[in-house]
Structure 1
Amino acid sequence: MTIVKRFIAGAVCPRCGEMDTLKMYRDDAREHRECVRCDFADSMALDGSDQPAGEIETRVNRGGKVELEPAQPLNFVPNPGSDKG
């Protein structure tokens, strides 16, 4: 039996965030998704019975701390030509 793999139009990979890189195919018991860019892969039973073993690693939940620069406050000065104020 030949397995036909099809791209999913408009789908975004949950790991790398790239659009139009996911392909899917089915075998006798499972439906599979794969990313051609980052080698992400997952599958689920066709009856939807099993759940993932844990959270998959994505670009959002990867380890590491993001350093932010201190924010500068904005001072709003009234317009000198206005009547209000």
Structure 2
Amino acid sequence: MSVVKRFVAGAVCPRCGEMDTIRVYRNERREYRECVRCDYVDGQNLDGTPEDVAELETRVNKKVELEPAQPLNFVANPGSQRRDH
């Protein structure tokens, strides 16, 4: 039995964010989706039973370490004093 993989129009890859790169296919027990751009693969059981799998790290849930913010002090330019005519 050959596996038929179908593209899903308008689907966006959860990892790379590209549109129209997801295709789906299934076997007797599971349905899969994969991205042809970034090699993302995901699957779910056809009977609806959950899997105990850790959440995939994506561009949305990735933790980014930011440097602490530095305050800015604005000082007036001494050559730009206001002159009233």
| TM-score (norm: length of structure 1) | 0.72
Alpha-carbon displacement from aligned partner over 1:3-38 (angstroms, at most 9, x marks no partner): 000001100001111100000001011000000011
Listed as ranges, the gaps of 5+ residues in structure 2 are 71-85
* Paired positions, count: 71
1:59–1:43 distance in 2 versus 1, CA, 3 Å: same
* 2:18 paired residue number: 18
1:42–1:52 distance in 2 versus 1, CA, 3 Å: farther
Alpha-carbon displacement from aligned partner over 1:24-53 (angstroms, at most 9, x marks no partner): 001011000000011100100001102351
Q: Give the RMSD, CA atoms, in angstroms.
A: 2.1
Residues 23-38 of structure 1: matches in 2 within 5 Å? 23-38=23-38
1:61–1:19 distance in 2 versus 1, CA, 3 Å: same
| TM-score (norm: length of structure 2) | 0.72
- Paired with 1:52 and 1:36, the residues of 2 have a C-alpha distance of 25
Question: Counterpart of 1:43 in 2: which secondary structure?
Answer: strand
Stretch of structure 1 that moved more, 12-21 or 54-63: 54-63
- Paired with 1:48 and 1:17, the residues of 2 have a C-alpha distance of 26
Larger radius of gyration: 2
- Paired with 1:37 and 1:12, the residues of 2 have a C-alpha distance of 11
- Paired with 1:52 and 1:25, the residues of 2 have a C-alpha distance of 21
Q: Which stretches of structure 1, 4 residues or longer, exceed 4 Å deviation after superposition?
A: none
What letter matches 2:57 in structure 1?
E
